[in-house]
Structure formats: structure tokens, C-alpha cells
A and B are shown apart, each in its own frame.
Chain A
Amino acid sequence: MTGKRIMSFVLIFVMVGLTIYYTFYGAQGWYSPATGQEMLLRTWEHLKLVGIAELLAIGVGISGGLLITRPGLKFLATPVTAIANVGLAIPPLALVAGVSPFFGIGPRPGIIALFIYSLLPVLRNATVGIEDIDRSVIESARGMGMSKFQIFRKIELPLALPVIVAGIRTSTILCVGTAAIAALINAGGLGQIIMRGQSVNFVALMLQGALLTAALAVTLDLLLSETEHALTPRGLQLNKETE
């Protein structure tokens, strides 16, 4: 854990440092890199895309996952997990491009594509997290006289929480990468700088976008894995360590 933390910090430091270097000293002949102001704006746009899509996906995904694991709707759990797994095999580029003929270009279709893509891991993990809870645990809770709602709130939710957060982490990382691709349909964000650099064939511009996107992904991964660790119940943590 600590090893990964240190390596992530070093990597983030190097990537952000290089981005700053290119922003101020990257000019070459007639080509100039993106200004600091634009970089900040694009980063903000990127975060906004990821944030909106991810919040929607978390809301829909978790409530959907909790809903289809209720006794009456259980038959839905297996097909939904299967569909989510197949959907995740679809290339992000195909999804982003496939959305554009129907919804046009701009931030809105970008968010639609991002939402669809980031919904799948959240939905899958919420379903699997609750499905995988040991039946005997729930049985003993019932034996202790807990009501259905109490079982849900005090047993199912805390036990499934680490798996759900792991799903949110996967989905956020995918979302950051897909948001960069969404610049192809003019959704804004750091991908816009990469695309511009690519079309004028100017390396500094491409690197500005790419390095900062990568730094963003590593940072979010670090933050979310810390959250995941903090939310795992103490007993399960010990279990993991002794394994």
C-alpha cells in the first residue's frame, strides 16, 4: 500500500512538473503550447465531464444494483451482470463515436457516452457485492430478530461497501480515459489539447494534454483506493492481511 502510494506521488509529481515545463518553455518556432490558463480551463472541463457522468452513474448504478438484488427481482441479477461484462468489452472509442450520430457533438453527447460506460462497473459491482454476501450471515441476522430493513442497512450495505467502492474506482479511472477520447466529439477536456497537438503534429501540445490526463487518473485512483481501504470493515481488513 505505502509502496504504491510513494510511486504514485513520484509519478504525479513528474507528470505535473513536465506539463508545467512544456506550458512555459514548450514553444518551438511558430508553434506555441497551450497557455496555463487554457490548461486550467481544460482540466476543469475534464473534471466536470468525469464528475457529472460519474455522479449520475453512481446514483443510477448503486440504486439499480440494490434494487435488482431484492428477493422479488433476483432473477434479474445474473443477466444484468452478464450484460455489464459484455458492455465493458466494447471499445470506449466505439461507444464515444457511436453516440455522436444520434446525439450530435459537444459536451452533452460526451456525458451520455461517459455515463453509459461508467454505469456498467458500478452496477456490476453493486450487484455482485450484495449477491456474494455469505447467506449464513444474513440468516443469523434474521435469527437475531432483525427486520428486513435492518438487515439491509446493518449487514448487506456495510459488507458490500468495499466492493461497491472498488466498482466506483474502476469506473472513475475508465471515465477519465474515456473523457480524453470524448474530445473527438468536441466534448471539451484535456483530450481537446491532445487532439489539437495531433492534428498540427506538435509534440509539446500532445504531451501537455496526455501527461495531465495521466496525472489526473493516477491521482483519482490513489484517492479512491484510500477511500476503499478506509471503508472496509476492520474484520475484513484483517482477513485480507492474513490471506
Chain B
Amino acid sequence: MEERIFQSTWHYINTHWPLILNWTAQHLQMVAIATAIATLLGVGVGIYIAGEGRESLANVVVNMAEIMLTIPSLALYTMMIPLLGSIPGVQSIGMVPAIIALILYAQMPIIENTYTAIREVSPAIIEAGRGMGMTPREILYRVKLPLAFPVIMAGVRNAVVMSVGIAALAVFVGGGGFGIPIFRGIRNLRVDLILTGAIFSSILAIILDWLSGIVERRLSWRSRGGGK
């Protein structure tokens, strides 16, 4: 029984490479677009709420981010359909809602990490910067952000890994990716399709986790002044 399962999966993978590559490309595309936008948004929001005199706003945003992360992804995708459907001119089915849901999720760890990292920069260092005659803008770009960088990168890595997992559910709102073979397999009782989707999406997630770990370490090493 088990042997047959693996044989048929192996056969399917061997005969359907173009299709698998296509799903990989779709999956990567969703993750890439979503994390790129989420990084911009997340770092922007994080920097904004970490500013002077915005403590209460920061509190609300960080709490909201925390609560948002507890909402199950399947539930969020499902809620996206009527929400987007009520806005005229926006597709409620397809790649667009899939990516919007991904952005909503992926920006949360980035906002949280950016905010805490900037807040935790030692006041003494900021004071020193001010003493050297830096403007607030210079302090932000040349003191706070470089020091906060490793933590922000950790948030981005977290966001990438999360998006790979959540993007697998994108097929639910008509997006692409490895959710397609899994859903198709379950609907049609095709074990080979199910396993192909499960194996490849897991491999993709593990590879991206590993790669973003390398990028994180390399970049944060440089921001501490190690690399030339």
C-alpha cells in the first residue's frame, strides 16, 4: 500500500516537471510580492509609531498586530472574499485577494520587530548622536536604523516563512501555488497529487527559511561593522 503511494507520487513528479515548476513560480511570486510590500509597509509603520509622542498609537498598532497574528489564516482568507467583494472594482477572487491577505499577515511581525528594535536603541547612543549635531532625521537613518537592522531582518525572515505556509491556502480564494495540487488531490482522491503538493511546498518552505536565515546573518553582521 505505502509502496504504491510513493511509486505513483514519484511517477507523477517525474512526468509533470513543467507543471510543478509553474506552481513553484506562482508560489514564489505571491510570497515575493507580499513580503516586499509588507516589508515596506511594516518598516514604514514601525518607524512612524516609534516616533516621539506616538506612544498611545504605537500601543494600539502593536496590540492589533498581535491579535491579527492569532487569527487563523483560513479564516482570514474566507473573510477576505466578502470584504473585497464589497469594494467596487476590486477582484474578490484570484491572485489579488491572496496577496492582500498575505500582506496583512506578513507586515505584522515586521511592524512589531521594527518598533521594538527602534525603541530599544540605547538613549545614550541617541544622545551622543544629538551631541554631535545630528538632526532627528540623521539620527534615524545613521544611528537608529542600522542598530535596529538585525531585529528588523529577523521579522522579515519570520514574515517570509509564514507567507510560504499561508500562500499554500491561496487556492482557497482562487490564487495559485502548491495549494492547487493539494486541493485537487483531495477533491479527486488522487494521492500522488496530494503528496506532490505537500512535499514540494514543504521543501520550498524549508529552503526559503534556510536562505533567509543566511541573508539575515550576513546582513546583520555587516550592519554591526564587521564586513568590508
Contact = CB atoms under 8 A, between A and B. Distances in A.
Q: Do A and B come from one complex?
A: yes
Interface in B205-219: 205-206, 208-209
Interface string B184-197: 01100001001101
B2 A91 contact: no
Interface in A83-104: 85-86, 89-95, 97-98, 100-102
Residues of A in contact with B, size category: 35 or more
A176 B208 CA distance: 25
B42 interface: no
A198 B164 CA distance: 22
A211 B67 CA distance: 14
Interface stretch (B15-23, B32-40, B58-66, B145-153): B58-66
A20 B64 CA distance: 24
Contact of B165 (A89, A98, A209, A221): A89
Interface in A140-197: 173, 176-178, 180-181, 184-185, 191, 194, 197
Interface in B97-144: none
A217 B71 contact: yes
Interface stretch (A1-9, A71-79, A120-128, A227-235): A1-9
Contacts of A191: 74
Contacts of B50: none
A16 interface: no
A218 B71 contact: yes
A95 B206 CA distance: 13
B94 to A, nearest CB: 14
Q: Which of B73, B74, B81, B168 has the most CB of A within 10 A?
A: B74
A207 interface: yes
Contacts of B66: 4
Nearest to A184: B186
B76 interface: yes
A181 B185 CA distance: 15
A94 B198 contact: yes
Contact of A100 (B78, B194, B206): B194
Interface in B163-182: 164-169, 172, 178-179, 182
Given A102-B5, A185-B186, A95 B164 contact: no
B75 A210 contact: yes
Given A3-B63, A89-B165, A207 B82 contact: yes
B55 to A, nearest CB: 11
B25 interface: no
Given A211-B79, A218-B71, A91 B168 contact: yes
A102 B2 CA distance: 7
Given A91-B166, A177-B75, A218-B67, 7 more contacts: A4-B67, A90-B202, A94-B182, A98-B195, A177-B72, A184-B183, A207-B78
User: Which 4 A-B residue pairs are closest in the complex by CB-CB distance?
Assistant: A177-B72, A210-B78, A98-B198, A91-B165
30 contacts: A7-B60, A7-B67, A11-B67, A85-B209, A89-B202, A90-B201, A91-B166, A91-B202, A94-B168, A94-B198, A94-B201, A95-B198, A97-B182, A97-B198, A98-B194, A101-B5, A176-B72, A177-B73, A177-B74, A178-B72, A180-B75, A181-B74, A184-B183, A184-B186, A198-B78, A203-B81, A207-B78, A210-B79, A213-B72, A217-B71
Interface of B: 2, 5, 59-60, 63-64, 66-67, 70-76, 78-79, 81-82, 85, 161, 164-169, 172, 178-179, 182-183, 185-186, 191, 194-195, 197-199, 201-202, 205-206, 208-209
